[in-house]
Amino acid sequence: MNGLLLALIAFVLFYIAYKTYGSFLAKKVYALDPNAKVPSKEFEDGVDFVPTKKEIIFGHHFTSIAGTGPIVGPAIGVIWGWVPAVIWIVGGTIFAGAVHDFGALIISMRNKGKTMGDLTADIVNRRARILFFAIIFFELWIVIAIFAMIMGILFNLYPSAVFPVWFEIPIALWLGWAIYKKKMNIVLGAIIAIVLMYITIVIGAYWPIVMPTVFGMSPLTVWVIIFMVYAYIASTLPVTTLLQPRDWINAHELLIAMGLLILAAIFGAGKLRIVAPAFQLKPAGAPPMWPMLFVTIACGAISGFHSLVSSGTTSKQISSESDAKPVGYGSMLMEGSLAILVVVAVCAGLGLKYVSDGSILTGAAAWQAHYSSWQAAAGLGSKLMAVVEGSANMMESIKIPHTISVTIMGVFIVSFAGTTLDTATRIQRYVVGEFFTAVKAPKLGNRWIATAIAVITAAILAFLQKDGKGALILWPLFGGVNQLLAALALLITTVYLVKTKKPAWVASIPFLFMLVITGWAMIRNIMSFAKTNNMLLLVIGVIIIFLEVWLIIEAVVVLKKAKKA
């Protein structure tokens, strides 16, 4: 099959879904009211609660939920075949992921901008809130530590991205000042910022910056420390200072990157043939496709982390309920589109040229050389290399030099990882603050102390292993925990819809699917930990399953009462 045709089919399906199913959710299920009170205006404080234009908040929300998720997941999930990967990405995005994100956003907006954990107390009960807090804290704890490590690894892999990524910060600070202080037109500001960004990309391509060893610490260790300090500073600043303008730049950076890939697909359509197998249900060394595909491809289909962004930062910035549809439902469709382009890049673009053991391979041989086994394709560097190299191969059809193409994709991936790191730290601060408020210790939940707790605990996890790779200890649990969190967010949405007498099936059906499939994956992992005598992961996995089951029981009891009422 031709890669361009595959992308066009998926894009058309996403557009139809937005106009039909998205409109049904907005009008019939949530009955969006443009005149309703919103947290950004009711609790405006200039730091976290800030009424924001639709375009800017779309950029923040999309770049925060995306990160490297829709890049890494599909890049490894295609090992079972591109057809199962595409079906899950398209179907999951439309009927599960976008519903999940939209629901979490609306519920939070109608409950004072509370995070998913805190609003559980209002929808279910106080016991459920504590359980949800524990699960959310565990997930964000891993996310902060792992993304600091990922950015360090990416900088070591692509030193040409270092200068552009760091120079984006002063550009974003200027953009925030120009838009909010000088009232500059946001489109003009974005154009200037993007032009500056691409100038830095060209500079970075020919001036790579390699981190040296510092005081005996490896380059990766130094980067992790730097990113932890950055995360603290960035997540305590007002959202208008850095978060929003940087994400506005990143959103345009994504559109340009996607546009370049689409142009490359058009001009190189004759050569852009999918060379990966349509189905490969038993690749060497890989776990079974059922249920692991649905845990491997999370962002790009459905991800529990998205509910934390929707109810964490985004709900505090949307200026009208009418903006919730493009931001909540539309952003997820955009992420699905990115995941599809990743599939095209690794399944077709990689086949244009792949260097293996000094030989230049093309076609199916190139794909098989990279995806020869689960072990060969599963590493972080391997996943990202497949996307970057495949994309760079595609861009050569529109005469962009390979060095520039690699830098564009490297900067794009690192920028999105930085957004996720910043947003996750800020959300963890909200979670910690809400927890201490709930236990009558609000002083420990102020902006500075709560952020310090979020960063210090993540740093402790990161440095449990050499080079800041401590998060890898718990990483095998992350996929299952993340997807079970998505199931719980859909469960909370189901309870909310039943209580408000709205069609609850839109959330309950994907909830049941996610509960069964990811619970299955989680139990499979726990059995694997038991066989390998990995007691740490075994104990934590069992505790998480126990908390999940307990929370589900609490919600089901409330659900039955609501139905009787």
Domain boundaries, the chain: 3-564
3-state helix, strand, coil in the chain (%, to 5): 80, 0, 20
pTM: 0.92
Among the listed residues 276, 273, 259, 275, the one whose alpha carbon sits nearest the alpha carbon of residue 398: 259
User: What's the whole-number mean pLDDT along residues 109-130?
Assistant: 87
Query: For 52-79, how does the pLDDT look when each residue is reduced to its tens digit (9 = 90+)?
Result: 999 999 999 999 998 778 888 898 899 9
Measured in residues, the chain has a length of: 565
Alpha helices in 313-462 (DSSP H): 324, 331-347, 363-370, 374-378, 380-395, 402-438, 447-462
* pLDDT 10s digits, 77-93: 999 999 999 999 999 99
Continuous segment of H or E residues that includes residue 175 = helix 162-180
Residue 382 confidence class, pLDDT cut points 50, 70, 90: low
Instruction: Give the three-class secondary structure for 298.
Output: coil
User: Does residue 166 contact residue 495 with C-beta atoms inside 8 Å?
Assistant: no
42, HSE (Cβ side, Cα atoms, 13 Å) = 15
**pLDDT by residue (tens digit) across 310-350?**
999 999 999 999 999 999 999 999 999 999 999 999 898 88
pLDDT at residue 254 in the model: 82
Convert the pLDDT of each residue in 499-518 to its tens digit. 999 999 999 999 999 999 98
Asked whether 409 and 368 are in contact (CB, 8 A), the reply is no
Q: Are 312 and 305 contacting, i.e. CB atoms less than 8 angstroms apart?
A: no
Q: What is the dihedral of CA 182, 187, 191, 196, to 10 degrees?
A: 40
Q: How far apart are CA 73 and CA 5, in angstroms?
A: 22
**Chain-wide mean pLDDT for the chain?**
90
The answer for residues whose C-beta is within 8 angstroms of residue 34's C-beta and 6 or more apart is 320, 321, 322
- For residue 378, the model assigns a pLDDT of 56
